[in-house]
Chains A and B, each alone.
Chain A
Amino acid sequence: MPDATYAVEMRDITKRFPGVLANDHVNFGAQAGEVHALLGENGAGKSTLMNVLCGLYRPEAGAILIDGQPVHFHSPRDAIQSGVGMVHQHFMLVQSQSVAENVFLGVRNASFSLRSQQMAAAVQKIGDQYGLPVDPNAKIWQLSVGEQQRVEIIKILYRGARILVLDEPTAVLTPQESEMLFQTLRAMKNDGKTIIFISHKLEEVISIADNVTVLRAGKVAATTPAKGMTKAQLASLMVGRQVFFQFDKAPAKLGEVRLALAGVEAQDDKFLPALRGVSLEVRSGEIVGIAGVAGNGQRELAETVTGLRKLTAGKITVAGRDVTGSPPLVMIDAGIAYVPEDRHHTGTAPNLSVAENLALKAYRKPPIGHGALIAPDAMQTSAVDLIRAFDISTPGPQTPARKLSGGNLQKVILAREISAEPQVLIAASPTRGLDIGATESVRKLLLAQRDEGAAILLISEDLDEIFAISDRIVVMYEGSIMGEFPTAEAEIGQVGLLMAGGEHGAHASAV
């Protein structure tokens, strides 16, 4: 019997991948005029469920009902025809085309000759209606990440979506941009749209969602009104046990300066200035957190310090040694370890074994490297040791790295970088995409390193992370350092304002 109160209902959805039951008889329903959050750890089956809803996957069993009517989606096009649209985490926009052109791209009923003024007007209208300010004639590459996201939302609204699925939409936004997005979501909600909001961030879920469905290991752990839930309650539903959000952090025991940047400048991939006179110091025994919205020079900062990117001016010193302009190998030898942002594409070689990935840098020196040769036994032994010491869960050292989960892959990288006993550890978004359990253990590892005297530069877009573990916070905006605070004195609003390029207020007394 169709339940007409749900705008979208998924009944007993089962989706199996080889060896994994991604969705196990999942029931999900959301009404018109509702923001429904979908919570869960990585691998809990959130994305699978939403990909089923959007026609990307077909379930083995179960039914989808839109407004009470059963539907069968064979492609995303079918889904959008029924009013279901998704904004993916990675935007699908053509960089060199305008906003309006992107919105009209792939629209079937568009007339053969496109009139740019009409297109722009249509985009403008949707933007005005839901509070999505964006210039229809701007090229995508000129837009900030937040603006690009708006284009994606306009795109699916233009195609007539009544049910919008947003996959971790705030992951790339500043707190202020997130607030703007929430206003848009509220406007859409009041207009009778259904919004399904996938997120890791518990505060957000509590503040924006009407109802929450929590998935755990492919099953629904709970469906509940968001009102009255606490972070701790939601987190324990997600992981099935108690979670602690606070770390007991010993006061920093500061040592000598391990990493010093003086007036460092560098260019991005388009040869535009990405770092503008960055000067900072990291001492032994402290974690310095770089806060900033993605794309404000953080990646370039990490790459410059690790020798992967040429600097155009300034000076870099590691433990007193001038390493300005040195190639990556010299930086490694100088004692710089790097946990890159992109663990799949930079941090590991996916088809090589776990043991080989653990030896990715250490193979040059004894005990693994001797003269021109490698000792496979030593590689194996060292891998077994590291797998045990860092609690990496893998079938064995010879398993290809690509078979590991994100959290375990990150542990492989951390094990490799930390075991090199570096002078300086650069960690870029070390917990991005990890579930709560893995995030906890990665942060603990970083803190343990700090307590043992490592100098750690933490680059993260996750402000919670910066506040949770760093001793000092440095805010970057468009390649410049906007301010610097001891974490204890930092205020999240002030940091957020600086991240958005706001004025250096009176509160932000530089240290």
Chain B
Amino acid sequence: MHRGGAPRIRFERRLEQPRWLSIASPFILVAAALAVGAALLALVGAAPLVVYGRMAEIAFGSAYGWSDTTIKATPLILAGLGVSIAFKMRLWNIGAEGQLFIGAWCATGVALFLMPKDTPQALMLLAMGLAGFIGGAFWGFIPGVLKAKLNINEIITTLMLTYVAFQWNNFFVYGPWSQRGFGLTEQFPKSAWMPRFTDFGKIFPAFQGMTAHFGILLAVILAVFLWFVWRRSKWGFGVKIIGDNPRAARYAGINLTRNIIVVMMLSGGLAGIAGMVEVSGVVHRLQERFSPGYGYTAIIIAWLAKLNPLAIILVSYLFGGLLVGGDAIQPAGIAGMLQGVILFVVVGGESMLQYRIRVER
């Protein structure tokens, strides 16, 4: 239609997302989120660039900053990997937070009540890790089996089980496992502490005062392993097929029922390990609300990283930095606000990037 007059601006759906855009989109989205956050900061009278600069400096400006950021990034990576496994198959496990709590609970039970205090550290940590995995996996198994056998929506079940996990945890930290009625257990024996970098300060002076723990090594190893599984394993290929087209997968002879359950268990299991690592490496006991929502942040992370395990490490550090930097500045709610803004922009922006602007003349 040839019509004169002023050019009109129109949004048009992209038929095909160009490759550069799919790589660039997480960066664009984070930048956009920071811009929105800056606007909000300016609105409350703060200087956005100063605030951001300060946050970046605290989180990444020194070795201690990196150490603190690593502490936050570790459970984020583990839970993010867990969430990403389920997302890969388009199972929307949003209950990583609950799986994390159950994993921590199981690890605590092992550390405090099952194993003798003088168990060798390696064996103790192995047992706790296993317990954490099994606990989280069980918390993933329930929605998995409901989904696979009865087609019950996993979004609802995983979310609701999270509240069950909170209450379960609260019952124990205020009840049977409580230390004098406070919302926490007694401290773990030293053998149940994840080694920290500062523990090796005598051998490597550079590590002195760095409280980051070895959980980060486990997280990175698991990320690399998962990356390899997706790229090279038969099982990973099967999950990829199911994720893209479950009917084609069934047609190709892949067992959907079994894979849904297995994937949900692995997904929950990794979140469970995140919980174990947090209690063993940071808190050294189980307590009420020991996680500031790592399991929820993991959802944003997995999404921003486009389910790529290696990208999850990167994005987790970004969010870890946000938490560390946000803790140290005023007003204190900034980190939470920015997280919310990022989630908002990511979810909304992802669909907006599927459109392009066209000027019609």
Interface residue count on the A side (C-beta < 8 Å): 35
A352: B residues at CB distance < 8 A: 240-241, 244
- CB of A369 within 8 A of chain B? yes
Query: How far is B248's CA from A306's CA once the two chains are assembled, in angstroms?
Result: 13
> CA–CA, A61 to B251, complex, Å?
45
Instruction: Give the B-binding residues of A (Cβ under 8 A).
Output: 17-18, 58-61, 72, 306, 308, 327-329, 331-332, 338, 340, 345-352, 356, 359-361, 363-364, 369, 372-374, 376
Q: For residues 287 through 323 of chain B, which have their beta carbon under 8 Å from a beta carbon of chain A?
A: none
Asked if A374 contacts B16 (CB within 8 A), the reply is no
B253 touches A327 (CB 8 A): yes
Contact segment of B207-215, B227-235, B325-333: B227-235
Partner of B234, one of A17, A363, A376: A363
Q: Which residues of B contact A308 (CB under 8 A)?
A: 250-251
**With A18-B16, A349-B245: A340-B251 Cβ-Cβ less than 8 Å:** yes
- B233–A374 touching, CB < 8 Å: yes
Main secondary structure of the interface of B (DSSP, over half): helix
Taking beta carbons and an 8 Å cutoff, which residues of B are in contact with A?
Answer: 1-2, 15-16, 231-235, 237, 240-241, 244-245, 247-255
Are A369 and B234 CB-contacts (below 8 A) given A18-B16, A347-B248, A349-B248? Answer: yes
A332, B249: Cα distance in complex, Å: 13
A363 touches B249 (CB 8 A): no
Across the interface, which residues of B come within 8 angstroms of A17, CB to CB?
Answer: 15
Which of B1, B237, B253 contacts A374 (CB under 8 A)? B237
- Measured between beta carbons, the chain A residues less than 8 angstroms from B233 are 372-374
Question: Which residues of chain A come closer than 8 Å to B15, judged between CB atoms?
Answer: 17-18
Whose C-beta in chain A lies nearest to the C-beta of B240?
A: A352
Cβ of A372 and Cβ of B235 under 8 Å apart? yes
Known pairs A18-B16, A61-B2, A374-B232; A350 contacts B245 (CB<8 A): yes
Partner of A350, one of B2, B244, B251: B244
A469 shortest CB reach to chain B, Å: 24
Selected from A60, A327, A359, A361, the residue in CB contact (under 8 A) with B255 is A327
CA–CA, A359 to B254, complex, Å? 13
**For B252, what are the chain A residues with a Cβ–Cβ distance below 8 Å?**
328, 332, 360-361
Could you list 13 examples of A-B contacts with CB < 8 Å?
A60-B1, A328-B251, A328-B253, A345-B245, A345-B247, A349-B244, A351-B244, A352-B241, A356-B237, A361-B252, A372-B233, A374-B232, A376-B232
Bound form: Cα–Cα A351–B237 in Å: 13
Q: In the bound complex, do residue A346 and residue B251 qualify as a contact, i.e. CB atoms below 8 Å apart? A: yes
Task: Please judge, given known A-B contacts A59-B1, A72-B1, A374-B233, whether A329 and B255 are in contact too, CB under 8 Å.
Answer: yes
A363 vs B235: C-alpha distance when bound (angstroms): 10
Given contacts A329-B253, A332-B253, A361-B253, contact A346 B234 (CB under 8 A): no
Looking at the assembled complex, report how far the CB atom of A396 sits from the nearest CB atom of chain B, in whole angstroms.
Answer: 14
* Chain B residue with the shortest CB-CB distance to A61: B2
* Contact B1–A61 (Cβ < 8 Å): yes
Distance from B271 Cβ to chain A, minimum over Cβ atoms (Å)? 24
Let me know if A346 and B247 touch, CB within 8 A: yes
Knowing that A61-B1, A308-B251, A346-B248 touch, tell me 7 more A-B residue pairs with CB under 8 angstroms: A72-B1, A329-B253, A332-B253, A345-B245, A363-B237, A372-B234, A376-B231
